[in-house]
Amino acid sequence: MKQFRKILLVLDPEAQQQPALERAAELARLHGASLHVLTVLEDLPLELKILLSAPYPRQLRERIEHQQRTRIEAWLAPLREQGSL
């Protein structure tokens, strides 16, 4: 079986569950590989940016990023506790 050194997992921040996360963590553990987690946040639509004042879109973006980071950390925490990450 081929050995993995690095595993890149793309998470869907809108999904309620991340079944691939446990599998990726298991593969990383079995192969002694590093696991890198990536998620992509969509930018605010141009129309919304135009409607909102200049500082507000930045604050909204920061709030969305914080919420997503918190959600992702909640998914990763049990795996870190188990030593899978």
Q: pLDDT tens, 36-62?
A: 998 887 766 666 666 666 556 677 778
Residue 69: the pLDDT is 87
Average pLDDT over residues 62-80: 85
Distance CA 34, CA 27 (A): 10
The residue with greater pLDDT, 76 or 64, is: 76
Contact indicator for 8, 36 with CB cutoff of 8 Å: yes
Percent with pLDDT over 90 in the chain: 16
Residue 66: the pLDDT is 87
For the whole model, what pTM was predicted?
A: 0.67
Break the chain into its structural domains and give their ranges. 6-82
Give the pairing of strands 34-38 and 6-10.
Answer: parallel
